[in-house]
Amino acid sequence: MSEVRYTDQHEWIRLDGDEATVGITKYAAESLGDVVFVELPPLAKTVTAGGEAAVVESVKAASDIYSPAGGTVSAANPDLEAAPSKVNEDPEGAGWFFKLKSVNTDDFAKLMDAAAYAKFVESL
């Protein structure tokens, strides 16, 4: 069974067994506007919780994407380079950025669950 957690920087992470998928939330995608470019991390890159992992550029701004948890990049979404608009179309599904293996579960446990994230977004 998968579990999703959120950061205060509007990244999400879905843990499925020993692999996790990372992307940005719908709130972040809407705030950015039309995404025109995505720079994904290289395979086998080791990332730390809160460390820069990817870049997303929209018609409004460029933003760093931070890894919600430590781990090793095991995949990058190949569809985003050709069609970065997938981030806007389905930010918490087909618009994922990268996958991690060897995820630091302590980092994961410190993140917000869906209810806490929804409350956080309401406060903005």
> pLDDT tens across 21-75, in order?
999 999 999 999 999 999 999 999 999 999 999 999 999 889 999 999 999 999 9
Cα–Cα distance between 107 and 99 in angstroms, integer? 15
In this model, does residue 1 exceed pLDDT 80?
no
Domains of the chain: 3-104 (2.40.50.100)
Cα–Cα distance between 78 and 119 in angstroms, integer? 33
Q: Give the distance, in angstroms, between the CA of residue 65 and the centroid of all CA atoms in the same chain.
A: 7
Which strand (E) or helix (H) includes residue 4?
A: strand 3-6
- With vertex at residue 16, the alpha carbon angle to CA 73 and CA 6, rounded to the nearest 5 degrees, is 75
pTM: 0.96
In this model, does residue 2 exceed pLDDT 90?
no
